Amino acid sequence: MGKTTLAQAVARGLECRFRRIQFTSDLLPSDVIGVSVYSQTQERFEFNPGPIFTNILLADEINRTTPKTQSALLEAMNERQITVDSQTYPLPQPFWVIATQNPAEHHGTYPLPESQLDRFLLRIRMGYPSPEDQRAIVRGEAGLRRLERLEPLLSLSEVTELQRDARAVEVTEAVVDYEMALVEATRRHAGLELGVSPRGMLMLHRAAQAWALLEGRGFCVPHDVKRLFVAVCAHRVLVRSRTTERPTEQAEALLDEIRQGVPVPE
Amino acid sequence: MRLPIRPATESMKEQISVESPLARLEQELRQVVRTSSDAVRMALVAVLAEGHP
């Protein structure tokens, strides 16, 4: 709950374009990326861009659609461009995909392979509002009615500048060593069949830099990494023996155990 | 651990101060999306780290 509101709020706050696609089993790749159609008047094929041509895309229930359509979206996420009929079209910048999944145990789902899950930076848990916040939503002081009043606070060029600032956040060797120790521990853990990939470690590093900037610092501390480790890495690992029907929660619990076991540099 | 060898640049300080647009954006988003989780902060991490949540 609240995912669409969050995605829309980020889009409004950053003055970005926002689109939402509800993924279903009969959705085709062309429904996402677009299609070339023949124009009688122009006597040539013209490209009709799909909903992927936006800044923020909410891919709702991505595991409801077939692997072919999932791949079309995930390739676009990675390359930030799409190719139709040998023509390449760059996607608008910035471009973010916020995807939601139905729990894997539900019928009629196509789980995303680990290699594709690896393309997502982190997993966000929405959680429930507190009773006080729930009251505010009912009274229209939060949620959609508040969203309608939200004014853009950052331009796209300011976002680009902030992204550059995030990459410039200092990360000492000791913090990188800590990142490596956490990642290595996932690769050696008996309960995990697949540990965190090199891409996963890079994402952890970048997320920690962004967190530090949001905390008002120009440098990372080990606790930034510790704070983000489960959110960035839990969807990238494969649990060896799935003792429950909730592998996500199981992976989070194992990574939390690793996080508590690896000493934090002082 | 070595102490931070590079403090925040002037540009960073401006961007991250309490009154900065980034801080105000986070506050506004928290007003819209009321949740007990850190979803808003995580979404902004994704924005700054150029990743897909």
Contact residues on chain B for A125, CB-CB shorter than 8 A = 37, 39
Tokens 């979803």 correspond to B39
Give the total residue count for chain A. 266
Domain boundary among A104, A125, A153: A153
Tokens matching residue A135: 């009251």
Q: Quote the domain boundaries for residue A220.
A: 155-266
Q: Tens place of pLDDT for every residue, chain A, 266 residues?
A: 588 888 889 999 998 899 999 999 999 999 999 999 999 998 888 999 999 999 999 999 999 999 999 988 888 888 889 988 888 999 998 889 999 887 655 677 888 887 788 889 998 888 787 888 888 878 877 777 788 888 899 998 899 899 999 999 999 999 999 999 999 999 999 999 999 999 999 999 999 999 999 999 999 999 999 999 999 999 999 998 766 667 788 999 999 999 999 999 97
Q: Nearest CB to A154: which of B16, B25, B33?
A: B25
Q: Please give the tally of structural domains in chain A.
A: 2
Tokens matching residue A105: 């145990």
DSSP alpha helix (H) spans, A25-124: 29-33, 67-79, 114-117
What's the CA gap between A205 and A199, in Å, rounded? 10
- The verdict on a CB contact (< 8 Å) between A126 and B43 is no
Whether the CB-CB separation of A38 and A45 falls below 8 Å is answered with: yes
If asked whether residues A99 and A181 sit together in one domain, one would say: no
- pTM of the prediction? 0.85
Per-residue model confidence as pLDDT tens digits over A71-102 = 888 888 888 899 888 889 999 988 899 998 87
- CATH of residue A198: 1.10.8.80
- The verdict on a CB contact (< 8 Å) between B22 and A146 is no
